[in-house]
Structure 1
């Protein structure tokens, strides 16, 4: 290590740091991004164009704007009822899937019992089974339980199909929470349940939001189960209602696009609310200090 000395009265000048040159984004980056953005947004614009453009118009700009298609779909075609039915199914599936996956995920993460890995492998293998293969067995079960043409058939089917993946995801979230936090709560006099509710559960907010949003969106978009298990028009959900805007020889594109806008609004709203939870750390800062 060498020391440099200077004579008294002589001022030394600090070395200049090189200025950072601001690099301009190259077209190689923006061109693919622009193409991807156009590929993603053009279908949405086309849907909005048909939904708010007057019937008979052919322009690429929806002017003058009209809400006749939305009014027709919402009132005449019964989309108000379909929308409420989809909300009921989505909300119930969200609650049941999250609660059951939370309890099962905690058991998988905190208890080491015989057959735990085999159970998790079996849960993963169920994801390879297409839902179409289970239509006939599920229909027989629901007919025995007298749940055919009932929203409960959709709720139970959606919960069963969403549960394996949700259980594994939440078990991973719980496993990443340090067990020392629970042990500290037990030392302070908390029971296992109270320690879980007060310490672990607040740290699982990103995982709960992710699992609940996936369950809601999947049940909202599911068409096959609703078409198979429901037969009364007042029990239809939004995907089944959209199919009835297409006739045998023609299709009402304005009504179909308006129904698509109505169906997309809850999904867009859900992602707008949860996007901040999906990117934040699960237990950042929990054991600092």
Structure 2
């Protein structure tokens, strides 16, 4: 019994000494479980499982655009699946004969005016919602959110009556005002979220340095809101550029039509000029593609800023 006790004590002492001097046996390496390292037991996910779904999605996304370019560039009556030899006759027809130069100018005016008005009003209202606490603030935010569930078609008749009393029917300003009103709720919610991500201590430091509230906002907060303003403004422009219902309802003369309404009138009662219709679609799509190509960096940054509270 004594010998056994001494042996056990010696073993325990040796184990403690080994642990102290770093000679302890290495810990067993844990095996990766399912779902780590890209697959079961740490295996990498095969590339085809990533590229196949992405390729299918890209195919179904780009085929309609290719089909539109095909009809716009190939000669009338051709059945070739390749737009060669290419022709610009359809673009010349829609731009000069069908008046798409005027439609393009009208759409540009409506889009830019809606962008400026929506961004300016949303910036002022979003700052008030983000920085001030007042009675009914939560209810107001809830009302803004619920207004997004109201279809714009339900408001066409009341809006038409209002614009008729204001002598704005068949004026581009009627479309601009309607677009601004219907885009403001979501823009207010987004801008207020962006402003809340800017620490109020930055403004307070500017106040201490002698700046007023407006000057501190312009010097400190506004530069940090650039991604959010670009995100809100780009959606306001694209929505106004593509919207068909308001322009169809409030504009009655051809010199006031926007591109969506002009495209609608290229469809005749007996036949459809597919080449002209496709060329008009290309004219309508190119500005939007160019805008998103230039602002995609700030657009992604704006979404990221609105997702995480700083």
- TM-score relative to the length of structure 1: 0.90
What CA deviation, in whole Å up to 9, does each residue of 1:199-242 have, x standing for no partner?
Answer: 00000001100110111000001101100000000000000000
Provide the residue aligned with 1:249 in structure 2.
Answer: 270
Q: CA deviation at 1:273?
A: 1.3
Provide the residue aligned with 1:100 in structure 2.
Answer: 121
Q: Output the CA distance in 2 between the equivalents of 1:24 and 1:147.
A: 60
Which of 159, 162, 169 is the matching residue for 2:180?
A: 159
For the 8 Å contact 1:47–1:257, the answer to whether it is kept is: yes
Please state which structure has a larger fraction of its residues in helix.
2
Say if 2:230 is the partner of 1:209: yes
The secondary structure found in structure 2 opposite 1:59 is coil
Q: CA deviation at 1:2?
A: 5.1
1:1-289 equivalent positions in 2, closer than 5 A:
25-280=46-301, 282=305
For the 8 Å contact 1:222–1:239, the answer to whether it is kept is: yes
Provide the residue aligned with 1:13 in structure 2.
Answer: none
- Higher relative contact order structure (alpha carbons within 8 Å, sequence separation ≥ 6): 1
Q: CA deviation at 1:169?
A: 0.5
The secondary structure found in structure 1 opposite 2:65 is helix
Q: Output the CA distance in 1 between the equivalents of 2:62 and 2:246.
A: 29
Q: Output the CA distance in 2 between the equivalents of 1:82 and 1:224.
A: 15
Q: Output the CA distance in 2 between the equivalents of 1:151 and 1:201.
A: 30
Q: CA deviation at 1:3?
A: 5.2
- Let me know the Cα RMSD of the aligned residues: 1.7
- TM-score relative to the length of structure 2: 0.84
